[in-house]
Amino acid sequence: QKEVEQNSGPLSVPEGAIASLNCTYSDRGSQSFFWYRQYSGKSPELIMSIYSNGDKEDGRFTAQLNKASQYVSLLIRDSQPSDSATYLCAGTLDNQGGKLIFGQGTELSVKP
């Protein structure tokens, strides 16, 4: 079992809809979680970080963490074509120096 797993997609949503991206992790020692957006041919760009159970909102983005279920999600409201990218979920383990363990990414396509 991979340490961080994501549905590879592609996930296709119409413009203006809510896109829901999901991630599960296997190690209960995982402490912090991050969502990165990666456009084709570019490097990952940090869009959200979440450290405790519950929801964290930033503009159109909401990250949700449920440590009991070992589940992390990212909701994108009012999706725009410019949101079309691969979204990478990553976690860190306590006492591991902050190294990120990434999922394989979910490709999101927002159709006008």
Partner 1 sequence: DTGVSQDPRHKITKRGQNVTFRCDPISEHNRLYWYRQTLGQGPEFLTYFQNEAQLEKSRLLSDRFSAERPKGSFSTLEIQRTEQGDSAMYLCASSLSPRGDAFFGQGTRLTVV
**Contacts with partner 1, residue ranges (CB under 8 A):** 4, 8, 31-32, 34, 36, 42-46, 49, 51, 88, 90, 92, 96-105
Rounded-to-integer distance, Cα 11 and Cα 50, Å: 23
Closest separation in Å from C-beta 1 to partner 1 = 15
Minimum Å gap between C-beta 102 and partner 1 is 3
Smallest distance, Å, CB 49 to partner 1?
5
The residues that bridge with 99 in the sheet, in sequence order, are none
Residues 36/76/10/24 CA torsion (nearest 10 deg): 60
| Residue (14 or 31) nearer to partner 1, CB | 31
Q: Which is nearer to partner 1, 103 or 110 (CB)?
A: 103
Of 99 and 112, nearer to partner 1 (C-beta) is: 99
Distance CA 39, CA 24 (A): 22
d(CA 1, CA 84): 28
